Amino acid sequence: MMMNGSVRSRSEVSEYMEEESLICKRLPKELILRIFSHLDVVSLCRCGQVSKAWNILALDGSNWQRVDLFDFQVDIESSVVEHLSRRCGGFLRQLSLRGCQSVQDRALEIFAQNCRNIESLCLAGCKKITNGTCNSLGKFSHKLLWLDLGSCSLITDNALKALSDGCPLLEYLSIAWCDQITENGIEALARGCNKLQVLIAKGCILNITDDGIRHISSGCHLLESLCVSGCTHLTDGTLVALGAGCYQLRTLELAGCSQFTDNGFMVLARNCHHLERMDLEECVLITDATLGHLAAHCPWLSKLSLSHCELITDEGIRQLGTGACAPEHLEVLELDNCPLITDASLEHLMGCQSLERIELYDCQLITRAGIRRLRAQLPNIKVHAYFAPVTPPPSVGGGRQRYCRCCVIL
């Protein structure tokens, strides 16, 4: 605050210290609280050790609405969580225990009992957590909106049932890599959590099936974002189901779901007009027809990944380029490892004014000349290919050469 390095006499120093403490007293509590509300956990604890007054203010519940313990990870033991929950009580709204592998059910039960106003809870990577935690949450945490249970692989269907019963307001749920979940759990979830907007179920390789998604579709009409990457057992039935119930879908991550075909996407596209981001990496069966459907029905499409979709050809890209999304919305297009793509595709995309990034790794028919022409039309575009010129580090002299658009030097 008032630190300067000059040397002062003793009387001056004591005066100086008095001044400082006066300032401390002069600053109203509300302002100090306001300042503290911006601090992180460690700084808050340190401030709490400065003086009695600061101790009370630092540990005031209002400063502990959002707590993030990610940096501590394995050092966080159950007792810490318990103390924290007692300290924060009803003030705690947001808590992240991501990566805190030592935390167990008992601590979270106490937490749930003490912090009934919790809205956002991240338990990703807390590998020891079992259904008990979800039971506690279902019993006490009725205001829960946001829950991340990624990598908590001991969780089973009963956990989802408990959440379904007790947390009806749930909007965001991640059960990534919880591979014991089956469609029964999903069914329970869909029954109780009708406000669900985001569901992340990637990596639940074996047990997520079309039936599970059908339940979601019938129960969660507000769903905007679904990630089932890696769930290889899903077939077109899933896409049909989504088309039947989830009209609000904006983000769809289907990477690795290699059984999907054009038929499924036809139904999906015809019903879900709000699709913005789609990850279709390794959906190897899809052809240009899918791109046709997307171009025709999804005008908001901004991010599309078709990595490893080996059947896509220039024709599909032509349809995309002339579709409703192309001129203004399409921002990212990933075509890496699509071997049939040639420079013609790049021609078709020249009308996409918003296109920021295009991935062309391993598209061996693309030439440098083709890329050069595209960059001439879309100067802001980032083209990613193996032989794409690497931008040199900013030169010291501020750049001597200037290029006009028709003489772009690659």
Partner 1 sequence: MAHELAHRILSDLSTAFQRHPNIDEVGFICCPTCQHNRSPVVVENNKLGIETWCLELIFPYAHDKVLRARGRDDRGRKIKVSRSARSLLEATRAVLLVQADCLTAWNIRKELVEAEDLKCTQDLKFAALVLTKHPKSSETFAHRRWLLKQIIQKTTSTSVQPSPIAQASHTNGLVAGDQASSGAAVEQPLNTQHGTKAGGTKLPCDEKLLETELTVCQSSAERYPSNYYAWTHRAWVVENVARCHYKILMKELCDNRHWISRHISDHSGLQYRQFLLTQLATHFRLEDALQDEFLPVLTAEFELLTDLITAFPGHEALWYHRRYVFQQWESVLSMFKCPKSDNSASSKNHTHLQQQHCSEVPVELYTHSASSFSRDRDDSKLHAAVVQGNKKAKVDSTYTEHHTIQTELEFCRNIMATSQDGWQVRLAGSYQHWLQQRILGQDNKLL
Residues forming contacts to partner 1 in the complex (CB under 8 A) are: 42, 71, 73-74, 99, 360-364, 366, 382, 384-391
d(CA 251, CA 261): 19
Pairing assessment for the beta strands 357-359 and 225-227 based on DSSP bridges: unpaired
Residue 132 CB, shortest distance to partner 1, in Å, is 24
How is the chain split among helix, strand and coil, in percent rounded to 5? 40, 10, 50
Residue 123 CB, shortest distance to partner 1, in Å, is 16
Residue 391 CB, shortest distance to partner 1, in Å, is 4
For 292-317, letters b (16+ CB in 10 Å) and e give: bbbbebbbebbbbbbbbbbbbbbbbb
- Dihedral over alpha carbons 126, 130, 135, 137 (to 10 degrees): 0
Query: Looking at beta carbons only, is 170 or 341 nearer to partner 1?
Result: 341
Residue 253 CB, shortest distance to partner 1, in Å, is 17
Query: Looking at beta carbons only, is 255 or 366 nearer to partner 1?
Result: 366
The DSSP annotation for 209-234 comes to: -HHHHHHHHHH-TT--EEE-TT-TT-
Residue whose C-alpha is closest to residue 390's, from 410, 370, 404, 369 = 410
Query: Looking at beta carbons only, is 28 or 399 nearer to partner 1?
Result: 399
**Phi and psi for 334 in degrees, rounded to 5?**
-110, 115
Residue 259 CB, shortest distance to partner 1, in Å, is 20
Query: Looking at beta carbons only, is 294 or 360 nearer to partner 1?
Result: 360
d(CA 31, CA 253): 45
Residue whose C-alpha is closest to residue 237's, from 258, 207, 267, 203 = 267
Residue 363 CB, shortest distance to partner 1, in Å, is 6
Query: Looking at beta carbons only, is 16 or 387 nearer to partner 1?
Result: 387
All residues at 6 or more sequence positions from 395 whose CB lies less than 8 Å from its CB, including other chains: none
Helices (H) and strands (E) in the chain, counts: 16, 13
Residue 280 CB, shortest distance to partner 1, in Å, is 18
Query: Looking at beta carbons only, is 101 or 259 nearer to partner 1?
Result: 101
Query: Looking at beta carbons only, is 73 or 248 nearer to partner 1?
Result: 73
Token pair of 83 as six digits: 């103390």
Give, in degrees to the nearest 5, the angle at Cα 397 between 393 and 400: 90
Residue 368 CB, shortest distance to partner 1, in Å, is 9
Query: Looking at beta carbons only, is 198 or 340 nearer to partner 1?
Result: 340
Query: Looking at beta carbons only, is 89 or 379 nearer to partner 1?
Result: 379
Query: Looking at beta carbons only, is 393 or 398 nearer to partner 1?
Result: 393
Query: Amino acid identity, residue 137?
Result: L
Residue 291 CB, shortest distance to partner 1, in Å, is 21
Supply the Cα-derived Rg of the chain in whole angstroms: 27
d(CA 340, CA 15): 80
Give, in degrees to the nearest 5, the angle at Cα 135 between 130 and 138: 135
Residue whose C-alpha is closest to residue 118's, from 96, 97, 91 = 91
Residue 59 CB, shortest distance to partner 1, in Å, is 20
